[in-house]
Amino acid sequence: MSLPQPLKSVYALADANSFYASCEKVFRPELEGKPVVVLSNNDGCVIAQSKEAKAALALYMCRPWFEVKEAAEKIGTIAFSSNYELYGAMSNRFVQTLRHFSPRVEVYSIDESFMDMTGLRRDLSVYGHEIKHTVRQWTGLPICIGFGHSKTLAKLANHCAKKQPGWDGVCDLTSLSVPELDHLLASLEISTVWGVGKRLERRLHAVGVTNVLRLKHADPKRIRDKFGVLLERTVRELNGEVWLELDQMVPEANQVMSSRSFGHRLDSLTDLQAAISFHAGNAAERMRKKGLYANAVYVFIQNSPHDEAPYYCGQQMIALPSPTNSTQQITKAALWLLNKVYQPGVYYLKGGVMLMELVAEGGQQRELFGFSQQDSKNHRLMGMIDKVNAKYGRGTVKTAAEGVRQDWQMRRVLKSPGYLHQWKDLLKVR
């Protein structure tokens, strides 16, 4: 008599191809087949490329746009500033579509989600193609899907689906025999494994671990001693053990950061005050959305390490007397910190505010920086400000310190319209 086998876990990872570039193409169908790139904030670096751009400009990823612009435009590349509101809205549609195919979905990043496929009595490859087709129809996004017995293996499968043409965008590692799987793993570089970056790759090569199969067969205990618990877990996951569970709960953030390069160098305290106030308000609003309160505020300002002048990064943190989510209190604390780290004569390029040690409950307000408003009053005020800003756009209501002219704001001259979140831009859909 044989005992019933416990179900082996199966995970899928669905990942949109060249996500930002694909989002732009959805609303500009005439760009199909043309090279498209999306630039980072301030139109600084290339952060996404369509496959046509990749083919022609492979080496341009993460390079400064001013260096590659001429060559890119010569081959007819269309460039966009990043439009995060649009990408966020597209990401939501993508996830909603995936939920039709699995009851358990973990949103891992803006363009990637894990799905639990354990116990599904279907040919996974066929099912994967069905998902891929539906996402394309419902959202316009091209995606790839990988299946594996652990999240690390699903991630690796997704890599194969994307990079190896034979899979047609869907790779199911669970259907391979052990020799077939090992043959495939032996052909993959270890940096393709989730959690192995440049440094670890170099150190692993030095001890003879040169491909994924060798990493899979490495002794977990020795890996732990030499490389730490994270890599040990990775080795076990490569062997099909589940060490990373599907995490459907969005983890409560421990910190919220708002920072950005300025549109141009700033040296006056007044300009910096406006920028830091903006970031304080922005971070506070994002924190309130998560229902959290901050115990500490951190501020930094720095010039560019690429400048000739010596690199300066002023940074300071202050613990608050009690947890708060009030924009005014956080802004006051941030401006107080700014005063402490500001040094005249430095041409600052970047700065920001981080709210730290976040907790779910606010506390009794005590005196700090002369704060004196009552809790409930503050709560109502914050709620109202957030509502107005959500309806009419961020910045409709803001603290006076943010200033009216925002010269320090980043440049986004190539930004596409807000097709999905701004009524005024709806008619721009072609």
Beta bridge partners of 337: none
Phi/psi-derived region of residue 300, left when phi > 0, alpha when psi is between -120 and 50, beta in every other case: beta
Shortest distance, CB of residue 341 to DNA, whole angstroms?
Answer: 13
Shortest distance, CB of residue 130 to DNA, whole angstroms?
Answer: 24
24-32, 129-137, 344-352, 386-394 -> range binding DNA (CB under 7 A): 344-352
Please identify which residue in 77, 150, 258, 329 interacts with DNA, judged by CB under 7 A: 258
CA distance 48 to 153: 25
What single letter denotes the amino acid at residue 237?
E
**Smaller CB distance to DNA: residue 32 or 252?**
252
Contact (Cβ atoms closer than 8 angstroms) between residue 403 and residue 413: no
- By CB under 7 A, the count of residues binding DNA is 46
Q: Does 194 interact with DNA (rule: CB under 7 A)? A: yes
Q: Does 76 interact with DNA (rule: CB under 7 A)? A: no
**Smaller CB distance to DNA: residue 186 or 253?**
253
Shortest distance, CB of residue 312 to DNA, whole angstroms?
Answer: 14
User: Count of CB atoms within 10 A of residue 86's CB?
Assistant: 24
Considering only CA atoms, which of 23, 27, 15 is closest in space to residue 87? 23
Q: Does 325 interact with DNA (rule: CB under 7 A)? A: no
Shortest distance, CB of residue 193 to DNA, whole angstroms?
Answer: 7
**Smaller CB distance to DNA: residue 197 or 370?**
197
Q: Does 27 interact with DNA (rule: CB under 7 A)? A: no
**Smaller CB distance to DNA: residue 34 or 290?**
290
Q: Does 249 interact with DNA (rule: CB under 7 A)? A: no
Considering only CA atoms, which of 336, 331, 268 is closest in space to residue 294? 331
Q: Does 112 interact with DNA (rule: CB under 7 A)? A: yes
**Smaller CB distance to DNA: residue 134 or 304?**
304
Q: Does 47 interact with DNA (rule: CB under 7 A)? A: yes
Contact (Cβ atoms closer than 8 angstroms) between residue 259 and residue 352: yes
Radius of gyration (C-alpha) of the chain in whole angstroms: 25
Q: Does 391 interact with DNA (rule: CB under 7 A)? A: no
Q: What is the DSSP letter of 189?
A: -
Considering only CA atoms, which of 113, 355, 325 is closest in space to residue 253? 355
**Smaller CB distance to DNA: residue 108 or 369?**
108
Q: What is the DSSP letter of 293?
A: B
178-186, 193-201, 207-215, 375-383 -> range binding DNA (CB under 7 A): 193-201
CA distance 200 to 237: 17
Q: Does 248 interact with DNA (rule: CB under 7 A)? A: no
Show the site string, 201-220: x = touches DNA by CB under 7 A, - = not: x-------------------
Specify the residue for token string 């495939």.
Answer: 184
Q: Does 240 interact with DNA (rule: CB under 7 A)? A: no
Task: Tell which positions 261-280 bind DNA, by CB under 7 A.
Answer: 261, 265
Q: Does 259 interact with DNA (rule: CB under 7 A)? A: yes
Backbone dihedral angles phi then psi of residue 387, each to the nearest 5 degrees:
-65, -45
**Smaller CB distance to DNA: residue 170 or 256?**
256
- Outline where DSSP puts E strands in 101-169: 105-109, 112-116, 143-148
CA distance 388 to 381: 11
Map residue 306 onto helix, strand or coil: coil
**Smaller CB distance to DNA: residue 375 or 409?**
409
Helix and strand numbers, DSSP H then E, in the chain: 14, 12
Please identify which residue in 31, 107, 257, 269 interacts with DNA, judged by CB under 7 A: 257
Q: Does 105 interact with DNA (rule: CB under 7 A)? A: no
Please identify which residue in 118, 255, 406, 409 interacts with DNA, judged by CB under 7 A: 255
Show the site string, 131-170: x = touches DNA by CB under 7 A, - = not: ------------------------x---------------
| Residue-by-residue DSSP string for 209-231 | --SHHHHHTS-HHHHHHHH-HHH
4-12, 178-186, 191-199, 396-404 -> range binding DNA (CB under 7 A): 191-199
CA angle, 18 then 24 then 28, to 5°: 130
Q: What tokens were used for 425?
A: 């831009």
Shortest distance, CB of residue 151 to DNA, whole angstroms?
Answer: 11
Q: What is the DSSP letter of 56?
A: H
CA distance 77 to 233: 42
List contacts with DNA (CB under 7 A). Answer: 40-42, 44-45, 47, 62, 64, 66, 108-112, 155, 193-201, 228-230, 251, 253-261, 265, 286, 304, 306, 349-350, 352, 354, 410
